[in-house]
């Protein structure tokens, strides 16, 4: 009987571990979207392992830049100050150096982001760091934390490392899915481009023929009624082609961000505006490496373009700032200046630029807040929840 108890305990632990892994696998298999898969995995890990907090760092593909890809119950000191989750830390530095590459190296360490905080830690000081790899390619780091942690058993370390392997597979699958969707979008965009070219080319040819016919009849002093008919047919064709071009263009994604992240495009916009208009504009990005949906990136960029254009044309500002903040829960764009300001109610009514920005923010599922007073500058903030 004395020997049976240790065996029973081992069996119970194995069954518990298998149950945890099975539930996490089910959560991951239900999602092909990367953000939702990571959120689901974190929620399961926290619940099943009785942990309070977790977050996932990922390396942006093709670069060495990291971004906060998902978070679960961050303590206030980090959740309320997104900039504290920027830049290097002990676990990321160790991971980049290649020293965090096996179950033996998964352990509880002091969180360097929390070590300098007095308030807002939620009782947390330590976390476990689990490396995420696809074969030999570094993907990122999973951090999980509990207020009462000091050390982990070898069994716990191995369980967390296995969870990291499952997460890595899910990340690779989600990225492959995104790549296939993006490839399909490129092919569709090329098809639309060909359709536009063919439609406009044929339409313009037909319009030219009608106008040439009308011109020839005018030279010969032909029947005025036939001349009028040719001109009317040309006008009808022009209207039809204009409608077709508008429909096609609406289906095309704006090309302003091609090859650039939103943060890179905003930095270029600020630099170009400063050079052309002579207004000093400071650009700051928190979480700027985090990938966003193309529709969201394009919409926020268009809002920034309009806001910066209004700033240059109407504000008489000498200094302005553009701030992009992206977290796993939301993204915000804030544009502020020290210009002459205006009365918000009178300017917003009938001002198509402001209306257009409000409409874009609404279509993105977000909100736009505009604050301004005469002589006190202006502040515009667009905030869009993610998920």
Question: For 334-383, what is each residue's pLDDT tens digit?
Answer: 999 998 888 776 554 445 578 888 888 998 999 999 998 888 889 999 99
- Tokens representing 317 are 């500002």
By percentage, how much of the chain surpasses pLDDT 90? 16
pLDDT for residue 16: 77
Class of domain 186-253 as given by CATH: mainly alpha
Number of neighbouring beta carbons within 10 Å of residue 335? 24
pLDDT, tens digit, 9 for 90 and up, residues 310-333: 888 888 888 999 999 999 999 999
Number of neighbouring beta carbons within 10 Å of residue 38? 27
Q: What is the mean pLDDT of residues 230-238?
A: 79
Residue 118 to residue 116: CA distance in whole angstroms:
7
Q: What is the mean pLDDT of residues 122-147?
A: 85
pLDDT for residue 349: 47
User: Under 8 Å CB-to-CB from 232, ≥6 apart: which residues?
Assistant: none
Class of domain 4-180 as given by CATH: alpha beta
Residue 281 to residue 320: CA distance in whole angstroms:
5
pLDDT, tens digit, 9 for 90 and up, residues 58-107: 988 878 888 999 898 888 888 888 888 888 888 888 888 877 655 555 66
Q: Residue 253: is its pLDDT beyond 80? A: no
Residue 322 backbone class (left: φ over 0; alpha: ψ -120 to 50; beta: rest): beta
Residue 166 to residue 38: CA distance in whole angstroms:
11
User: What would the 3-class secondary structure string for the chain be?
Assistant: CCCHHHHHHHHHHHHHHHHHHHHHHHHHHCCCCHHHHHHHHHHHHHHHCCCCEEEEEEECCCCCCEEEEEEECCCHHHHCCHHHHCCCCHHHHHHHCCCCCCHHHCCEEECCCCCCCCCCCCCCCEEEEEEEEECCEEEEEEEEECCCCCCCCHHHHHHHHHHHHHHHHHHHHHHHHHHHHHHHHHHHHHHHHHHHHHHHHHHHHHHHHHHHHHHHHHHCCCCHHHHHHHHHHHHHHHHHHHHHHHHHHHHCCCHHHCCCCHHHHHHHHHHHHHHHHCCEEEEEEECCCCCCCHHHHHHHHHHHHHHHHHHHHHCCCCEEEEEEEECCCEEEEEEEECCCCCCHHHHHCCCHHHHHHHHHHHHCCCEEEEEECCCCCEEEEEEEECC
User: Under 8 Å CB-to-CB from 95, ≥6 apart: which residues?
Assistant: 129, 131, 138, 140, 141
What are the structural domain ranges in the chain?
Answer: 4-180, 186-253, 256-385
Residue 368 to residue 338: CA distance in whole angstroms:
19
What residues pair up with 53 in beta bridges, in sequence order?
145
Burial class, 209, CB count within 10 angstroms (exposed 0-12 / middle 13-18 / buried 19+): middle
Local confidence band at 124 (pLDDT 50, 70, 90 cut-offs): confident
Placement of tokens 């930095």 in the chain: 267
pLDDT for residue 160: 82
Q: What is the mean pLDDT of residues 122-144?
A: 85
> Residues 353, 359, 365, CA angle at the centre, nearest 5°?
145
Q: What is the mean pLDDT of residues 9-15?
A: 77
Average pLDDT along the chain? 80
- CB environment 262-275: b (16+ within 10 A), e (fewer): bbebbbebbeebbe
pLDDT for residue 367: 95
Task: Select the more confidently predicted residue: 214 or 150.
Answer: 214
pLDDT, tens digit, 9 for 90 and up, residues 166-202: 888 888 887 777 776 666 556 656 655 665 555 566 6
**Could you tell me whether strands 137-145 and 126-134 are parallel, antiparallel, or unpaired per DSSP bridges?**
antiparallel
pTM of the predicted structure, to 2 decimals: 0.68
Cβ-contact 202, 163 below 8 angstroms: no
Q: Residue 254: is its pLDDT beyond 50? A: no
Q: What is the mean pLDDT of residues 207-222?
A: 78
> Residues 259, 262, 263, CA angle at the centre, nearest 5°?
110
Q: What is the mean pLDDT of residues 279-296?
A: 89
Residue 145 to residue 128: CA distance in whole angstroms:
6
Placement of tokens 């096996």 in the chain: 102
pLDDT for residue 281: 93
pLDDT for residue 106: 63
CATH number for region 256-385: 3.30.565.10
Q: Residue 1: is its pLDDT beyond 60? A: no
């Amino acid at each position: 009987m004395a020997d049976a108890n240790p065996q029973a305990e081992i069996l119970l632990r194995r069954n518990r571990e298998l149950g945890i892994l099975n539930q996490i696998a089910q959560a991951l298999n239900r999602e092909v979207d990367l953000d939702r898969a990571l959120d689901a995995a974190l929620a399961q890990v926290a619940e099943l392992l009785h942990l309070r907090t977790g977050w996932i760092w990922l390396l942006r593909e093709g670069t060495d830049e990291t971004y906060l890809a998902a978070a679960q119950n961050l303590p206030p000191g980090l959740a309320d100050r997104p900039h504290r989750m920027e830049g290097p830390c002990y676990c990321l530095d160790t991971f980049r150096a290649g020293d965090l590459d096996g179950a033996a190296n998964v352990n509880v360490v002091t969180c360097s982001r929390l070590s300098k905080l007095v308030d807002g830690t939620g009782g947390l000081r330590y976390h476990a760091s689990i490396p995420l790899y696809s074969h030999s390619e570094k993907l990122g780091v999973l951090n999980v934390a509990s207020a009462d942690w000091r050390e982990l058993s070898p069994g716990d370390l191995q369980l967390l490392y296995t969870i990291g392997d499952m997460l890595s597979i899910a990340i690779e699958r989600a990225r492959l899915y995104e790549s296939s969707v993006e490839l399909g979008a490129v092919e569709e965009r090329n098809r639309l481009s060909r359709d536009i070219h063919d439609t406009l080319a044929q339409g313009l040819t037909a319009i030219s023929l009608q106008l040439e016919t009308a011109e020839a009849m005018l030279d010969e002093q032909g029947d005025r009624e036939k001349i009028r008919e040719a001109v009317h047919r040309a006008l009808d064709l022009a209207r039809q082609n204009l409608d077709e071009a508008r429909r096609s263009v609406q289906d095309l994604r704006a090309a302003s961000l091609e090859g650039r992240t939103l943060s890179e495009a905003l930095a270029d916009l600020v630099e170009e505006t400063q050079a052309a208009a002579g207004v000093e504009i400071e650009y700051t990005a928190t979480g700027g490496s985090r990938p966003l949906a193309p529709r969201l990136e394009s919409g926020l960029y268009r809002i920034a373009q309009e806001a910066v254009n209004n700033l240059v044309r109407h504000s008489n500002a000498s200094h302005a700032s553009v701030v992009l903040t992206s977290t796993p829960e939301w993204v915000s764009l804030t544009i502020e200046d020290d210009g002459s300001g205006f009365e918000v109610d009178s300017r917003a009514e009938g001002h198509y630029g402001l209306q257009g920005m409000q409409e874009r923010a609404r279509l993105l599922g977000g909100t736009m807040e505009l604050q301004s007073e005469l002589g006190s500058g202006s502040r515009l903030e667009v905030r869009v929840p993610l998920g």
